[in-house]
Amino acid sequence: MTLSRSKVAAIQASFSTDTQANVLKMSQMVQQAAQEGARVILMPELFENIYFCTFEKEEYFKLAQPALNHPTIRIFQDLAKKLGVVLPVSFFERDHQCYYNSLAMIAIPGNEL
């Protein structure tokens, strides 16, 4: 069995309630990590908004979206393909009346580690 090494980056950051700004911040930080040689880049949990999981408020449930055609996942699929990296993307998922703290593992075929 042949072992290979891959550089992993873990991103830490603060976030606001501005989802677009948070996604842009993560996109830029992912690009920086990739430029520094990272092949697997871990972003913070539920980075699209402030970390709301410590409180159960009705307003937070409005942040959830279905996994299929999720706009943030699409952005990071495109970025992973462009950079040739693996990106675990945490997101707040809605599936009918159920809510999940979900993870989409984005690994583009041909970019195996």
Quickly state the pLDDT bin for 1 (edges 50, 70, 90): low
For residue 112, being part of any structural domain is answered with no
Q: How far apart are CA 3 and CA 13, in angstroms?
A: 32
For residue 13, being part of any structural domain is answered with no
For residue 12, being part of any structural domain is answered with no
For residue 8, being part of any structural domain is answered with no
Query: What is the value of pTM for the model shown?
Result: 0.88
The tally of domains found in the chain comes to 1
Q: How far apart are CA 9 and CA 37, in angstroms?
A: 9
Tell me the residue range of the domain where 25 lies.
Answer: 18-107
pLDDT at 111 over 90: no
For residue 6, being part of any structural domain is answered with no
pLDDT at 58 over 70: yes
For residue 51, being part of any structural domain is answered with yes
Quickly state the pLDDT bin for 108 (edges 50, 70, 90): confident
pLDDT at 25 over 80: yes
For residue 5, being part of any structural domain is answered with no
For residue 61, being part of any structural domain is answered with yes
Q: What is the mean pLDDT of residues 79-92?
A: 96
